[in-house]
Structure 1
Amino acid sequence: MSDNKSNLTEYLTPLIPLAPVLSVKSLSFVTSKTKKQQSILGCSNKLQLTSGRAAIAIALEHAGIAKNDEVLVPAYHCESMISPVHWRNATPVFYKININTSINVDNIILNITPKTKAIIVTHYFGFLQELTSIRAVCNEHNIILIEDCAHAFFGSLNNQVVGSIGDYAIASSMKFFPCYDGGILASSTRPLGNVNLKKPTLIFQIKAFFNIIERAIYYKRFGIAGKGINALLKVKEWLWNNIKSVSGEHYTCNSPASSDGGYGLEEDWIHKSTSVASNLIIKQSNTKLIIEKRVENYQKIHEALSGLTTAHPLFTKIENGFVPLVFPLYVDAPEQSFDVLKKQGIPIWRFGEYLDKQITEAFCPNSTALSAHVFQFPCHQELTNQELNWMIITIKKTIK
């Protein structure tokens, strides 16, 4: 989930998980009631893919976006939002956003030309955009609206469920569930049955399963049982290495870059479905627990960090119905604390840290400010109280 292209070998592996990891409680008490939460999965048409960036690519393809077409993209963005546009040989055209991450509808209108075929609108950090006005603009100009829910798998605003307003909606399952791979393409109005997907190879399916388990063991989520599972994994590794040495065959297993914190869009992974292991976790997870814990953790961090004199929460409060991806903190002097926090093992995500070269302070000062100053810290459902408290204390000491 990281958007940081720095030399990560300088830093510790985060001492607590940036994204959810599998635990016993992840899948506990799953009932029809806990599953029926407001989410992008409520759209009538949906596909389970490998990543959110693959979902954007297929949405553009399905909408017929082609060479010389223009796609409006927010100036505050990451590479994963741009590479699918280039994959369609279309041109990304950037529009301005406000300092609170809301879209600048007037600037969007100024950028619309006869070549404009689609607009991507992002729900940053799980804080939902008000889409009524931009929906009307798209209807008036016959433009496709892609609702980017990569940060907002769950939630609603003004009785409008996330993912239900766009012609297409995309999400990143890996950010909200303890998966190795996973993305959603959904639509409430457009059938997606004509999209042909291939299943990942068996060896990738096995890799996805073991990656989920190994990550859970690394962060000690299985308790005493984890030691026994870890021993079995070592036996598995020993057997696998012996099979390779005896057979003389070279076994490789490529993975989508999105699963390992990479960048860009690999064409081979666009039309692939989610692995069986990741898909099963999504279906069996207690979504009611996910929502409640994320909101609870967010509010705890907000209360603890609101008193800082050299930083402040990006949002003054979390609205009812919003389900946060992370806790975004606006830091006045980020260069003084980023490295220190990383070297202490604090998990930090910096969305939009590297913007397109067109995005200068003169073009959109809000986007460059957010890119430089906003740190995002985890608030996901799998954090323990001990981990959360340690993170809060370390952040407060460092940023002071």
Structure 2
Amino acid sequence: MLLDTLIFDPSSCGFPRPRLPLLPIGFDGIAFAAPSAWAPTAHFRHFSRGRYALREAYRLAGIGPGSTLLAPAYHCRTMLDPALALGADVALYPLRSDLSPDLAALDALADSAPIPVRALLATHFFGLPRDFAALADWCAARRITLIEDASHAFFTEQHRPAGIGAYGAFVVSSPYKFLPSPDGGLLYAPEAGRLHDIVPRAPSWRDELAGIASFWQKAHSASRCDLAMLEAELTANAANPSPLASERHEFAGPSSDYRPEHAGRASLRLSRLLYRHPDIAAIASSRRKNYRRWTTATMNLPYCRPLYPELPDDCIPYMFPLLIEHPETHFYWLKRLGVPIWRWDSMAASTCPTATHYRLHLLHLPCHQSLNESKMDWIISALTKVGAGRTALLQACQ
């Protein structure tokens, strides 16, 4: 199936590499002692990325030719890639402004689907647990398999976040987003027998060595952020603005981030070793502290607002979601400075107003454990100065 896809192509902009890591590096968040697993190993399978774990969850749920997957309208394309690769149709369900599913809209969408709906993907966005009890009942009544997308949650064999993993027939996560591992995707099933026939193939030794080299290189990469130089860099960038990215509609199948040859491949041995040694308390403390710093820094700024200013108890956040008013200036200039930010700006088109707006206006800002106070100071200062326009930066854009 091909989807009408909105493509954001920044290749003409010349954005530099981020000056700070978007994800944890080195041994940050790793402990000497290994916590006990919360469920037997038969309930888990390891893959090189969450998208390939998701492929197995879709396949086991009956996703393939002649079936439909219901997926959130706000999404990363890798959430849809496995279903498209399996030959299924994908229907996007609308979300409310807090990214919770709209059950009434789901009813209408399921009733009008020309091809039977076999599975629904429900996402715990940014690691904040969602109460999917009503959604699970809805799926059960329609004999639709519920798959929990916990790729934004710290969900591993050694840690199960409260409120996550209790609803779906399958749960998929991406541990490398919380631990400094070179790769990793995890598939969990409450009924271990459903995974009996899944045996991921081992990576080659060449891949294993490449993973070790990547881990070592990232661990020893130097940051290049200087708070004292920020004002001068802003002014210099204003004098030489970058061209705008190209945007286009394209009827597309799986994205280039989906590699069919990687499907079914297990994660690296180094990654699995690191997964068994998380310092859960340290990861939680650092991420929550950085998340709260973001909230304090952005709460009263006139040109942006936190999507979730309140962090639930015991939640370990993935990133800090921030809505900005003027992406045509704020996003471009933050990228020009090398600020580590992310955004889902290439996605399948839908009629959902939340997804349409958030595509360009919702920034994903890092809060991981490798960001110390000085690094957070630099990122927050860059965001504040770019947004406020207290330099020649925004004047040059007007």
Inter-partner Cα distance in structure 2 for 1:115 and 1:140: 14
Superposition deviation, residue 327 in structure 1: 0.7
1:75 to 44, 52, 73: 73
TM-score (norm 1): 0.81
- Look up the SS of the partner of 1:26 in the other structure: coil
- Look up the SS of the partner of 1:293 in the other structure: helix
Change (3 A) 1:198 1:43: closer
Task: Give the AA of the match of 1:105.
Answer: L
2:298 matches 1:312: no
Task: Give the AA of the match of 2:313.
Answer: N
Change (3 A) 1:128 1:310: same
Inter-partner Cα distance in structure 2 for 1:52 and 1:79: 12
Q: Does the 8 Å contact 1:4/1:350 carry over to 2?
A: no
Superposition deviation, residue 194 in structure 1: 1.1
2:132 matches 1:131: yes
Q: Which residues in structure 2 correspond to 1:61-140 (within 5 Å)?
A: 61-113=59-111, 115-140=116-141
Q: Does the 8 Å contact 2:129/2:163 carry over to 1?
A: no
Q: Does the 8 Å contact 2:155/2:175 carry over to 1?
A: no
2:23 matches 1:19: yes
Task: Give the AA of the match of 1:139.
Answer: A
Inter-partner Cα distance in structure 1 for 2:175 and 2:164: 14
Superposition deviation, residue 316 in structure 1: 2.6
User: CA offsets, 1:367-393, max 9 Å, x none?
Assistant: 111112111110001111110111111
Map of 2:365 onto structure 1? 377
Map of 1:48 onto structure 2? 46
Q: Does the 8 Å contact 1:70/1:92 carry over to 2?
A: yes
Q: Which residues in structure 2 correspond to 1:389-400 (within 5 Å)?
A: 389-400=377-388
- Look up the SS of the partner of 1:112 in the other structure: helix
Task: Give the AA of the match of 2:21.
Answer: P
Q: Which residues in structure 2 correspond to 1:195-206 (within 5 Å)?
A: 195-206=198-209
Map of 1:229 onto structure 2? none
Change (3 A) 1:180 1:5: farther
2:347 matches 1:347: no
Superposition deviation, residue 297 in structure 1: 0.9
User: CA offsets, 1:200-233, max 9 Å, x none?
Assistant: 111000000110110111137xxxxxxxxxxxxx
2:331 matches 1:338: yes
Change (3 A) 1:9 1:287: farther
User: CA offsets, 1:307-337, max 9 Å, x none?
Assistant: 1111010113111132211011100111111
Q: Does the 8 Å contact 2:318/2:366 carry over to 1?
A: yes
Superposition deviation, residue 395 in structure 1: 0.8
Query: Which consecutive segments of 4 or more residues in structure 1 shift more than 6 A?
Result: 41-44
Inter-partner Cα distance in structure 2 for 1:44 and 1:203: 28
The answer for unaligned runs of 5 or more in structure 2 is 1-6, 224-254, 389-398
Map of 2:181 onto structure 1? 179
What is the aligned residue count? 343
2:14 matches 1:10: yes
Change (3 A) 1:43 1:364: farther
Superposition deviation, residue 64 in structure 1: 2.7
Change (3 A) 1:263 1:150: farther
Q: Does the 8 Å contact 1:43/1:188 carry over to 2?
A: no
Inter-partner Cα distance in structure 2 for 1:118 and 1:219: 44
More helix by share: 1
Range 204-213 or range 124-133, more displaced: 124-133
Map of 1:287 onto structure 2? 280
2:298 matches 1:300: no
2:213 to 210, 213, 225: 210
The answer for unaligned runs of 5 or more in structure 1 is 221-261
Inter-partner Cα distance in structure 2 for 1:317 and 1:354: 28
Q: Does the 8 Å contact 2:83/2:90 carry over to 1?
A: yes
Inter-partner Cα distance in structure 1 for 2:41 and 2:309: 30
TM-score (norm 2): 0.81
Inter-partner Cα distance in structure 1 for 2:343 and 2:123: 16
